[in-house]
Amino acid sequence: MNYPNGKKAVLHQEAKGQGKQNYSNRGMTLEEDINHTNAYYLTSDKAIIHKKPTPVQIVNVHYPKRSAAVITEGYFKQASTTDYNGIYRNRYIDFEAKETRNKTLFPLSNIHEHQIEHMESIVNHGGICFLIVRFTAFNETYYIKAETLLSYWKDKLNGGRKSIPYSAIKQEGYQIPFQYQARVDYLKVIDKLYF
């Protein structure tokens, strides 16, 4: 791509000296894509979804000069629940986002027990809860209902698989195609499932 002045656009990885960027990895992480999508949802007044801040206990601060403070030591106060929450069409939305380089499965070890408990609670209270998984090797992003994830988790606890096969995610999940403005347009899936 060239800018109107004729200069070639510098791609994200090229700027870091990592060579040319290929189409399968646009130099963006799933989190960056979701944050961009949520900003688009907010400015277009479609939904209010935000990344949850992780509570941190600040222990030590260094003041190199009067106008600047540098946190030199801090600890997470508590385990975080899921990554994002908000509201869409009068419904509470809550979800976790994960990336994997694995080509054949999504390891359930990427999800923590306290997150599962939180997601189960959201579902039990009528909220819309889900997992977004990106298989970076294929540049494919999927919406997986919390109920589906919870089923695999319970199976794991009963001695079953410790992962969700890629083939099952393709079959039971909903692929979210990459788009320009809403890069990970998960609201389209929510519309199809709930409205």
Map out the domains of the chain as residue ranges. 25-53+79-194
54-106 tens-digit pLDDT: 767 777 888 887 778 888 887 766 667 899 999 999 999 999 999 999 999 99
Which pTM does this prediction carry? 0.78
Instruction: Please report the pLDDT score of residue 131 as a whole number.
Output: 98
1-55 tens-digit pLDDT: 444 444 444 444 334 444 443 434 444 699 999 999 999 999 999 999 999 877 6
3-state secondary structure of 47: coil
Instruction: Please report the pLDDT score of residue 57 as a whole number.
Output: 76
The reply to whether 96 sits in an annotated binding site is yes
Q: Which residues contact 38 (CB under 8 A, 6 or more apart)?
A: 47, 49, 50, 51, 84, 86
Amino acid at 183: R
The reply to whether 54 sits in an annotated binding site is no
What are all long-range contacts of 153-157, with beta carbons under 8 Å and residues at least 24 apart? 153/108, 153/111, 153/116, 156/108
Instruction: Please report the pLDDT score of residue 27 as a whole number.
Output: 43
Instruction: Please report the pLDDT score of residue 76 as a whole number.
Output: 66
- The string over 125-164, giving b where at least 16 C-beta atoms fall within 10 Å of a residue's C-beta and e elsewhere, is eebbbbbbbbbbeeebbbbbbbebbeebbeebeeeeeebb
The reply to whether 175 sits in an annotated binding site is no
3-state secondary structure of 42: helix
Distance CA 128, CA 89 (A): 11
What is the average per-residue pLDDT within 100-113?
95
The reply to whether 171 sits in an annotated binding site is no
Domain 25-53+79-194 class, CATH top level = alpha beta
Instruction: Please report the pLDDT score of residue 78 as a whole number.
Output: 60
Instruction: Please report the pLDDT score of residue 28 as a whole number.
Output: 60
